Amino acid sequence: NGDLEEEVYMKQPEGFSSSKGEHLVCKLKKSIYGLKQASRQWYIKFDGIISSYGFVESPIDNCIYQKVSGSKICFLVL
């Protein structure tokens, strides 16, 4: 899961309650499934990792990466 760029809070899941019966919230440190920012944060993290292996994002389609090594070309399609 990717790191969040802004502060995001969510209601605590059922079963997590304070001894005083208060309704508390959680501050998220990482993106989680279902969060509006989750897909973007995943993409940012994926792009950083795949780029570190020498793949370059296509200027035409950001779901295609290529790596050129001598006379060989490797395409990665998401």
SS (H, E, C) 13-78: CCCCCCCCCCCCEEECCECCCCCCCHHHHHHHHHHHHHHHCCCEECCCCCCEEEEEECCEEEEEEC
| Ordered per-residue pLDDT tens for the chain, 78 residues | 667 778 888 888 777 776 776 777 888 887 777 777 778 888 888 999 999 999 999 999 989 999 999 999 999 998
pLDDT for 21 equals 66
pLDDT for 1 equals 62
pLDDT for 24 equals 79
Q: How far is CA 28 from CA 4, 36, 46, in A?
A: 8, 13, 20
